[in-house]
Structure 1
Amino acid sequence: MTVRRLRPPNRALRALLTEAGWSGASLAREVNSLGAAQGFALRYDRTAVSHWLSGTQPRPPAPELVAQALSSRLGRRLRPAETGLVHETPRAVGGDGFALLAGALGTAEAREVYVPGGLTLSGITAVPATRIGPPHVESARHLLVVLSRSDDVFGSGAVREPLRRFLGTVLLPWLRGPSTPAVRRELFEVAAQLAYLCGFVAYDSGRHALAQRMYGAAARLADEAGDRVGHAVALRGLSVQAHQLGHVTEARALAREAVRIGVRHAPPQRHAFFLGQLALTEAAAGDAACLTRLTQAERCLERAGGAGDLPTGAFHPGALALHQAYVHRARGDHRSAVRALEISLRHRPPDERRSTAITLADLALTHLDIGHLDRACAAAHTFLDARPGVASARVEGRLRTLLARLRPYARDRAAAGVLERARAAPS
């Protein structure tokens, strides 16, 4: 007679659910929601959680997402192993900028889950035989400008692969090659900017784990170049990502640190760049100081007199107005948000097509919040005009949200026109 060995029940998860005051259905909803924010189509329910409580260990990304959901609920950081859903496999954290960048590129094709504060590293590349000099640095800077501008115009899908290939096959060997201290410092500085751009491209593509790793590599590379502003820019990127994913406390902490470092070392235009993000995170946390931050950012832009020639992190009146709109919306002032969105569109440079599309979608959604269906539909049509040729997960996410908000009004002629046009448009 064969005796089946039963799995022990997951007492750790049951204790955490009790402490959180959650049912299995509540946990399943939170996990599905966190997964959706990172591009995972999950359909867990109370039955799945019952299996977990009985000892079943789910496949990734569930353990990481369960730990995140319970961490947010309980106000303390939990590792996946503490939920009883996975054996402890700690991530390696630290290493120099080269190692972090190599590790991120080594997993660029994998689908991982975003983990607040998490970084991993690995990888070695060949050392070039030739000496690295100023022409190598200039070449990297030129490509940074070209790819950054292409990303603005066409979205992340247009530059993701060429950027990854350049970083992995050209830049990494250069970083390990022989050079003078001055050349090495300049090369690491531009490498930090390219890693930041790669992080932003991954963020725009909805690949949040990769974005997080690239931003971490950018911060470390900037440190090794002595570039405090570059470090602050990377922290701001992490803050933007954490804010979108609903990690309000972490987003604000990152934005505060970016301001602390950046305002000390950066010119006024960069000050506005950092202060605008801090305003968003403070608004999300219900902090009235967000309005003061916006005023400070506006004054910084006035002192700067323009966006400047920045390949990454450029900030101008159109970008500031968009931040103002998001702050107003977070505070429930949708009419002020509409006015700020319209100002943003008037000041947005014509080659920033992705940002224009996102702003138009947000304008339509904010009109719906107010109850202005006809104005929302007019903005939606303009958004559909701007969408073709822009490869961006954020743009496509706005489209799905907008269509879902319009479907209850499908019998209205204006709404029906938008829905029909969206169905007929190429994906």
Structure 2
Amino acid sequence: MTDVLDQTGLQQRRHLVTEIPGPRSVELMARRQAAVSAGVGTTLPVFVSRVGGGVIEDVDGNTLIDLGSGIAVTSVGASAPRVVAAVQAQVADFTHTCFMVTPYEGYVAVCEALAELTPGDHAKKSALFNSGSEAVENAVKIARHATGRQAVVVFDHAYHGRTNLTMALTAKNMPYKHRFGPFAGEVYRVPMSYPYRDGLAGPDAAARAISQIEVQVGASNTAALLIEPVQGEGGFIEPAPGFLTALREWCTAHGVVLIADEIQSGFCRTGDWFGVDAEGVVPDLVTTAKGMAGGMPLAAVTGRAELMDAVHPGGLGGTYGGNPVACAAALGAIETMRSEDLAGAARAIGERMLPRLRALAERFPAIGDVRGRGAMIALELVRPGSTEPDAALAGAVAKACHAQGVVVLTAGSYGNVLRFLPPLVIGHDLLDEALDVVEAAFAEVTGS
């Protein structure tokens, strides 16, 4: 426990005054069930009153440690002072004009920042949207238009969104695709590098994928190859070294647009500004969202100027895309990442978490793999002595953590992965306490 206050005045400690959920949250859940579609899920049924630093305060006065960041969105914190100030100032001026009708400087400034921050020193341009799904869908549109080709190649365990096209790109059926078809066509799936399960070196895993593309699709038919540098919902799968490099080389040789989906791995999350940076890979197009705008809805496609300009005027856009308030938030968030070296903070989080979690794996044989970079860390849970996924154990451990006031998330194609996405501004004492709770949850659930 700590008495440290974050910049908003919220005490940075875990403190439970009721059971989780408390009575006020239970009351609000009843209202939610009466008014909100059952199709919208809830991980933890507590209603939030304030969030700051690494802590979530609920309506019952409980304070929980946040290891989820709203699924990697509030990397700078959910009430970061620069973001708050920028949003307040922009709201006072105007909330909307539609950039396609009467433009404003904030949109341009965000695109300039993206050109500077994304990998590569070539000329770049951007287009702004509302969500990660929109960004991915527009990246595919751009690649198809620029190349005159139709086929898009994606990978096993991929997650790219919930629109019709992005559901086709996503690998997992439940809950994302089940009974929502038919889906968009000309999408082809090949094996991902998954070191824990395939044991292949990166170049060998790439050769396997490339062989399937060439046999089943044809390089000359392929507009784009779309990949998450570290897979998100698929289970924080980090490809073996050399995998992304080999794919880059193949795309260059065959005129295929390499799209890096950095929606979850981007903006300092992995300890670099972008997930591809670890291997020095320069994509043709990069999609971003989540951590970019401190909790405001904003997404982008950034890429080679000649690709971004290939689309006819009017072919890209949307009423709310690049909303001025969201752009102001993004500029505040980016300044926070720079001034507070949140890429370095992410690396420090990984250096603190990974040894603890590897020690945990020594104690609990159900932890089959510990993986990740920076503040994007996961445990894959299996039946001891095998690689058979154990989704029930992942769910039980998560539930035990929630009951003790630590927000953790599950993931993975098999539902057997615990993923950790703490805010990059979380205090180390708070992080250590959260890991203590995770360890106790494993002991409670496994009885060891």
TM-score normalised by length of structure 2? 0.28
Which protein shows a greater Rg?
Answer: 1
Choose between structure 1 and 2 for higher RCO, CA contacts under 8 A separated by at least 6 residues. 2
TM-score normalised by length of structure 1? 0.29
